[in-house]
Structures are given as structure tokens and as C-alpha cells.
Structure 1
Amino acid sequence: MTTPESVDHAPIELPSEAQPERRLHPMSWLFVLIQQLKQFIVPILALFLFGRGDRNDLWSLVAICILGAISIWQFYTYRFRIGEDSLQIRSGLLQRSLRQIPFARIHNVGLHQTLLHRIFGVAEVRLESAGGIKPEAEMRVLKLDDALALEALVRRRRGTSAAVAASEAAADTGEVLHTLSTAEVVRVGLISNRGMIVVGGAFAALSQISPDLVERVLELIAYGMFGVVDSYGRGHEAAAVLLMLIAFIVMIRMFSVLIALLQYSGFRLEEHGRRLTLERGLLTRIRTSTPRRRIQSWTLREGMLHRWFGRRTLEVGTAVLDNGSHSQPRSLREVAPVATPERCDALIRHLAPELHWPPQDWRPLHRLTFWRLFVPQLLLAAVLGACALYEFGALGFVFVALWVPWIAYIAWQNARHAGYAVDGLTIAARGGWWTREWRFAEIGKLQAIRLGQSPLDRRLGMAHLLLDTAGGNALAKPLRLRFLPEAEARALHETLGREIARNALRW
């Protein structure tokens, strides 16, 4: 006869109807306590720092003891059972709840490991659906082997017979699609501007804690710059400013490389049957799994630094909504943070062979696209130039004389590189010159389409189309075809509208 202790610590296997309920890892209460302390750390610190005198300083200790008791209570009242086609979760003592989550409803399995998780050999598991704002279930915490086994069970949720289970278990080894070496991770840091987030956040925090400290830092920077000027003479002012600018850029890139090493070390993209699994992170390991069919849109990005390194970034948008938290990613997003253009194209063709990427026939935009891009910038330059002319006199005129040709050149380059492509399966848009982007999606996965025109668009005889896919993030850039000839835009709007209606009836 199996004892309760052996049931709690037995490895997760293929489910059976007689499988008993299980508990979480014995140390799960500690991680629940840490999570609760993160939420209540501010009032607890306030009690500890400002509640001194008499017995008020004991209230913070009392609060921690209460949170610890709640964490232990949750551990002893949390049970789960793996059934044939669903996961049952029982929790609560006074207010009991029983949740049954079908495996077919789970579209993303996320495994989250901080440094403390890795020390104890455990992981936090999040089971997420396509349309939920919150995960269907959060299991803090399971042994890492059990978490991986649960992920495999969800991946094989169709397999009930031994033959099917054995055949799908053989596919669990997975095919590695893309990895990042340490040199590639360093390239990610050099290409990105994540270091600006660190610097900006540091100055914002200092300005809230001590505004005088920010002023002292700025004074120190100015003193260092003018000290160089005083040491080498006024003729070296430009060299001193250039030196400080180079030092600032180097510092930003160093922070960016450090963040990239923390986020992307050990990056590994694998394919398990019809699911994609991504694992990354140096101190905090994140593992997320999403079905390939949930991919709704694709984005290729290539900035100037990308071109210098001969790299691109490949991202996807999935039907699993993102909750906006970078610490708890809800879906697979970056398929390849950096890769060669040929490798990005090969990944797209492998994961979506029906898209026939890249398109062979890119169509140009409206013939007046240059003027549509240039006129708004010209109006802005006129306003700023008038202000500069009033404030600085002749120098303001020089500013306008130099800026107008530059914005005209940028508008010309952006108009020259823009275009769109439509075939029976794919709709794609490209644009940008300094930072180039290719965005595309399968026509069968479009959810809505909207035609729009600004007053200037109507004047120039052009329109734009906004295309919406399932699970779109409000903060993400949408798929948009801009500056199309109005007749082409209306015809495309009608054609795609019929296709969307046909797919809706089919489902």
C-alpha cells in the first residue's frame, strides 16, 4: 500500500483514473512567503522603521509571522490530481475550491526559476490559456523533474493509449532550432539599448529619494568635463565633450551587455512535435512552451547596428495574451533575438512553410509617399526653426538650413524602402530605413481589418489598412499597410473582409 509521503514525492507519470492527489514540494511554503513579502514589503518596512517606541517595533515581526502561517496553511490545503485529460486543483480549508482545467485549454506552459529555485532544485509552473489575463493555474513550487514531466504531459494531452504515449514520448527529446552562444548574447547587448533603461531608472529613483544627489552627480559630470577643458585649454572643448559622450555610450553598452547576459544566457529554442519550447536566463531561468498554431504574426527587425553585425531579430505574436510583465512572460515572443538573415528566413520557412517567405513580388506604395512623409516633418521644422531664429538669430537659420535636407533625405529613404505584398496566404508590409521592419501574417488568422484616412491622406488620395490578429498586445506595434493608393486600399479591404467572414463561418 502506498503511503501519503511516497505519493507526494513520487515522480509524475502518465495519468490514470486511480491516481491519488498530490502536494507541492515541501519547501513551497517558503516561496509563497517570499512572494507575499514582496507584496507587503513597503508596509512592513514602514512598521519597522517608523514604529519604534514602546512595542510598536514588534508589529513588523508579527506581520511576518502571520504571512508565514498563511504560507504554511496554503501548502497543507493545496492538492492537485492529474487525470486522463485534465488537471484538478483543490485548495482552501474554510473556503474550499475545486478547479478542473482541461489539457486542451492549456496553450502555454511556463516554468520560472529564480536563483533560489535553482538552489532547491524546484520550479514554479504557470498554466496559461489563450484568452486569459491571469494564468489558469500557478503551482508554487514543484520539483524540477516533476515540472518538466507535467509540461510533457500537457504536450501529450491527446495520448491515452500506451502506444500513443510511447510514440509521443520519443518525440519529447525535441529538435533544437536555434541557440545563442556567449558571443551572440554579447551581440544582443551591443545591438540593443537596454542600458538606457538602467540609467534612466537609476536617475528616476535618485530623483525620488534625493533630488540633491542627482544635482551633485550632474555637477560632478560637468566638473569633470570642464576640468579637462581647463587642463588642456579652451581649444579642446569639443574634444572634451566628445570624450564624455564616448564614455557615456560605452557605459550604456556595458549595461546592455550585462542585461543581455542575464536574460539570454543559455537561450535554446526547441521543437517538440507541434509545440515550441524556449528556455533562457542566467540567474533566473525561464522556460515557456506554446503550440505552433498559436503564432498569429511575425516581425523581422534590422537596425543599423544589426546591419553592422550582419544580424536580424525575429519575433512572433501569439494568441496567448501578454500581461505586460517582463518578469512573468505569458508567451513565446523572441524566436531569435539575433540571427543571420539567412537563418531567420530558414526559421520562418521551417515553422510556417505555407507562407512562402520571403515574398518575391513587393508592391510599391502611393507615388506621393515621399511628400506624405516629408510635409509633416517640414511643418515641424518650420515651427522649431522660427523659435530658433527668434532665440538665436542667424544660428537658428543655419539650424533650419541643415535640418531640412536631412529630413528630406530620411523621408526619401523611408519611401524608397517601403512596400507591401499580398498573395493567397500571406499579407506583409515592410518599411523603415535606419531601422527596417518586415511584418507579416497568415490571411486566415486575421480577426479584423479597418480602413482609415487622415485629412492629408484624403488630400493626396491614399489610405491605410489596420490588420488585427488574435491575442494582439495594445502596447505592440500593429500590422499596418500605410500610404496605399485609395482604390487599392478599398479593393484589398473588401477582399480581406470576405476572407475574414469566410473563416469566421468555418469556425
Structure 2
Amino acid sequence: MTTPEPSALPAGMDAAAPERRLHPMSWLFVLIQQLRQFILPLIVLFVMGRGDRNDLWGLVAICVLAVISIWQYYTYRFRIGIDSLQIRSGLLERSLREIPFARIQNVALRQTLLHRIFGVAEVRLESAGGIKPEAEMRVLTLADALALEALVRRRRGEARTGPAAPGAETHDDGEVLLRLGAGDIIRAGLISNRGMVVVGGAFAALAQLSRDLFSQIIESWVRGLFGVVEDYGRGHETAAVLVLIVLFLVVVRLFSIALAFLQYHGFRLEEHGRRLTLERGLLSRARTSTPRRRIQSWTLREGMLHRLFGQRSLEVSTAVLENGSDGQPRSLREIAPVATPERCDALIRHLAPQVQWPPAQWQPLHRSTFWRLAVPQWLLTLAIAVPVSLNFGPWGAALVCLWLPWAGYIAWQHARHAGYSVDARMAAVRGGWWTRTWRFAEIGKLQAIRFSQSPLDRTLGTATLLLDTAGGNAIGDPLRLRFIPVDEARALDARLAGEIARSTMRW
């Protein structure tokens, strides 16, 4: 998305302006959206028609959808008021919605390749808890879309701090906090493993299309590779297998890099006053804007490949739902897909200056943590060794039992790196070994706290604290403090519950 400066609003974009229509090509994008919903029935209708009159029904359906799209364009109006946005739609069943600017938490602009060809953008105005957007405009010119985003940002600021003084200048130029270059995107692709999804999907589709063809292709590749090796002498089958593995890994990484360029090309994180704006994408451009105060929790990730390249990933969870009902991203999430540890820490300190990051000291977990992690892995390994010994004899069981010391080493590393930190401003937890994570939330953002003990916890004198924020969800990793000595857990529970109560009274 090429973003021209939204410093001046287009003609008519003010409080006294009459009602406005969408872009004249808006009906085309509405039609495409409706065709996506009915594409499978239409394909079945065309395929099953077999050249008779049934084919005409598909054309009739497309014509009906086109008429509906044009109808929606001519009946959709919007007006920008002083403190709200009015939207009028419908002809037979009319509706009038008034959306206060103070309620809009996220302004999302989206451009597919077709949008970019026509110089337009899709605008979504979203609230904190709604599943569907408050308003969805398909489509506005890119200049109008950026002007509307700047206007919402300014009117929200006036609603919080009061109207600007007459004659005061409004500066919409944002400060760029992070920009990804080609080298950064290549590193992001090498670190991620998204190419495996493409390769796996291709193999699955090929296998479903024709299992015989799939088997023939794999067999021809393997025979060709072994044939090349046999030309240099027999006994090189191991080398052929290694070459096959290396080629597979190279293909996966190339696909990962390609996907990274599609997703992160032109990545730019900007700060506009109290709002963060994120823009990215190669073919399909997305631009989303969210208030900084809506950030509820922070997550730092560092895998083995991250450490190899000296990088980390920084993610946030906001009070706005991450994805809408249509699966499109609705809020900020990856504010730093790849960055050096120092850069990630600097971003956190800049965006959350009230917290001290990294913590001065991490508290260790209960001394029984190693056994809590190691014993289940050992029992599972022994359970697998029993049927293996019945089928392959003692040597098979011995090979399985070789996992026992490695499982113990993994548990020891996890217990050594795990810890938590709670101060006057922040609650943080760290864990992992191969892939390390740091998660924290401001105490003022906590919504609820849950104290729990399993029967094993009561026996060993430990407890778990689950800290819930407004951006928490069942899919993401929760902010959970596990294996804490029970006395420390009760003290933290009472302290954090009091902080949450005082915060609720202030609201």
C-alpha cells in the first residue's frame, strides 16, 4: 500500500459535508465478495449442467448478485460529524447507524492486488469487543481512506483531551519505530517454518487428486536420485538419502522466504501520538491502527534459529479481537516479526515506559519443578518401551530407553530457565529452553486472577496463578505462573486481587 501523506482532507470530508457515496467501483468489490460465498454452488451448477439449460441458472445467479451489489452501492451513504460517523444503508429496509469516534478502537485498511490497481482501499472501523466491525466500507479511494483514518485518530484525541485550540496545527506525521528490509525478511523466512505448510499442502492435494500419480512422482524422484548415485559407485545409498533430505529442507526454506516476502514486504510500524499503525504486505496490503493503551500483554519468542541469527520476535495482545468473523486480522499482533534482542527491549521500554524491562530479578520456581517435568516423560517413555520390547525384543526396548537421559536433560533445562517476576507495575513469566518465551502484562491491565491447586500441588505445596487480561483468548498462551510455592502464591493472589479491585473502582 503506497501511503500518500494524509495531511489534508479531501473536499467534503468535514462535519458540514453532505452525505457521501462510496467509490463508483464499490459495487465490483461487493460482487466479488458475494461470489466468494457462492462460488462452490455456482461451480457445481456449471459442472452438473452438462451444456443444457441448467447452465443459464448460473448466469442468472451472477446477474442477481451484480444487481444486489449495485443496489448496495446506491443505497449506502455516510456522513462525518463532529464526534461521530453516520451510515445510512438499505432501500426497502433502511437503517441508520451512528458510531461515536470514542467507540472506534481500531481502523483497518486493506488492499488486495485488485484494490491497488483501482487505487482504492477497504476500510473497517472496529470496536474492542465486537465480533463484526462497527462499519465496513467497500471501497474508498486510498486518499479518502487515509484521510478518514487520520480524522478518526484526531477526533478520538479531542474526545479524550478536549478540542484543539482554534488555529492549532494538527501533525499527522508518524514516527517510524521499526522497518523491515530485505535482509530482515529473509531472516524471518529462514527462522519460520511456514514453507512446510505449502509443501505439505501440495503433497496432500496431489495425493488426493491421484494417488497413483503421487506414488509415481515420488518413485521417479527417488529412482533418479539413486541412479545418479549409482553412476559414481554402489554403496552410496546413505549419501542419496542425505541429499534428498537436504533438498527437501532447501525447498521448504525457499517457500518460507517467499511467504515472508508476501506477508512482511514493506513492513512499517509507526507511532501517531497515542496510536500505533502497522502496514505490511506485498500483493495484498494491510494497514491497521490501534491505541497504545489497548495493548494488554506482551510476548517475546526466541527459538533456536532465532538465537543462530541473533533475533527475537515481539508480539502483543490487544483488547480488540485479533481476527474477525471473516478471518481477517483486526488488530496488532506481530509488532516485530524479527529484531535484535536489544531492539525488542527498546521497543518495549518505549511503548510501555512505566514498566521496567527486563526485570531486575527473576524468582525461581518450586524446587520440585524438575521432577514435575521429568517424571511424566520418563513414565511415557517406559510405557512405549513395553510394547516395543514385545515386538522387537530387548534391543528395541533398550533403544527406546535411550530417551530417558535426554528427557531428564530437557526437564532440567526447562526448570533452570523458568521463573517469574512481579513488581509494582508488571507481572512476568518466562519459560522454555529450545524455544524460549517471555510474557508479561501490566498489573493495571489485569482483569481477573485465579488461584488453583491440583491434588499433586497440595501434596508438594505448590499452586498456579492464572492472570487474565482483556486480550486473553483460549487459543493463545495464557499468562500462567506455575509451580509457585503455595505461600508465595497466596500472597501474590491477595496483592494482585487488591490491585484489580482498586483499578476497577477508578474506572
Using the size of structure 1 for normalisation, the TM-score is 0.93
Name the CA distance, whole Å, in 1 between partners of 2:346 and 2:214: 49
Name the CA distance, whole Å, in 1 between partners of 2:47 and 2:276: 48
Name the CA distance, whole Å, in 1 between partners of 2:235 and 2:395: 21
Structure 1: 5+ residue runs without aligned partners? 1-9
Aligned to 1:301: 301
Aligned to 1:330: 330
Question: What whole-Å deviation, never above 9, does each CA across 1:289-339 have from its counterpart, x for those lacking one?
Answer: 000000000000000100011110000000001236796111011110011
Quick one: which amino acid aligns to residue 358 of structure 2?
Answer: P
Aligned to 1:282: 282
Name the CA distance, whole Å, in 2 between partners of 1:321 and 1:473: 9
How far is 1:213 from its partner? 3.8
How far is 1:389 from its partner? 1.9
CA contact (8 A) 2:420 2:481 kept: yes
Alignment counterpart, residue 55 of structure 2, candidates 50, 54, 57: 57
Quick one: which amino acid aligns to residue 141 of structure 1?
Answer: V
Question: Which range is displaced more, 332-341 or 393-402?
Answer: 393-402
Name the CA distance, whole Å, in 2 between partners of 1:228 and 1:27: 57
Name the CA distance, whole Å, in 2 between partners of 1:325 and 1:310: 37
The 5 Å alignment of 1:22-61 reads 22-61=20-59
Alignment counterpart, residue 19 of structure 2, candidates 18, 21, 27: 21
CA contact (8 A) 1:303 1:435 kept: yes
How far is 1:449 from its partner? 1.2
Task: Identify if the C-alpha distance between structure 1 residues 216 and 395 changes in structure 2 by more than 3 Å, giving closer, same or farther.
Answer: farther
Name the CA distance, whole Å, in 2 between partners of 1:398 and 1:407: 15
Quick one: which amino acid aligns to residue 57 of structure 2?
Answer: W
Task: Identify if the C-alpha distance between structure 1 residues 341 and 166 changes in structure 2 by more than 3 Å, giving closer, same or farther.
Answer: farther
Task: Identify if the C-alpha distance between structure 1 residues 67 and 100 changes in structure 2 by more than 3 Å, giving closer, same or farther.
Answer: same
Name the CA distance, whole Å, in 1 between partners of 2:166 and 2:313: 36
Task: Identify if the C-alpha distance between structure 1 residues 224 and 325 changes in structure 2 by more than 3 Å, giving closer, same or farther.
Answer: farther
Question: What whole-Å deviation, never above 9, does each CA across 1:330-351 have from its counterpart, x for those lacking one?
Answer: 1011110011111101000000
Determine whether 1:134 maps to 2:135: no
How far is 1:218 from its partner? 3.9
Question: Which range is displaced more, 200-209 or 485-494?
Answer: 200-209
Secondary structure of 1:11's counterpart equals coil
Quick one: which amino acid aligns to residue 134 of structure 1?
Answer: K
CA contact (8 A) 2:107 2:288 kept: yes
Secondary structure of 2:354's counterpart equals helix
Using the size of structure 2 for normalisation, the TM-score is 0.93
How far is 1:272 from its partner? 0.3
Name the CA distance, whole Å, in 2 between partners of 1:432 and 1:45: 48
How far is 1:506 from its partner? 2.1
Name the CA distance, whole Å, in 2 between partners of 1:13 and 1:298: 41
Cα RMSD (Å):
2.0
CA contact (8 A) 1:275 1:289 kept: yes
Quick one: which amino acid aligns to residue 149 of structure 1?
Answer: A
CA contact (8 A) 1:156 1:168 kept: no
Name the CA distance, whole Å, in 2 between partners of 1:442 and 1:480: 14
Name the CA distance, whole Å, in 2 between partners of 1:479 and 1:497: 15
How far is 1:43 from its partner? 0.7
Name the CA distance, whole Å, in 2 between partners of 1:166 and 1:493: 51
Quick one: which amino acid aligns to residue 265 of structure 1?
Answer: H
Q: Percent identity?
A: 71
Name the CA distance, whole Å, in 2 between partners of 1:165 and 1:130: 32
CA contact (8 A) 2:131 2:324 kept: no
Task: Identify if the C-alpha distance between structure 1 residues 97 and 326 changes in structure 2 by more than 3 Å, giving closer, same or farther.
Answer: closer
CA contact (8 A) 1:372 1:456 kept: no
The 5 Å alignment of 1:448-487 reads 448-487=448-487
Name the CA distance, whole Å, in 1 between partners of 2:392 and 2:335: 50
Aligned to 2:110: 112
How far is 1:358 from its partner? 0.7
Aligned to 1:145: 143
Name the CA distance, whole Å, in 2 between partners of 1:188 and 1:182: 10
Question: Which range is displaced more, 459-468 or 476-485?
Answer: 459-468
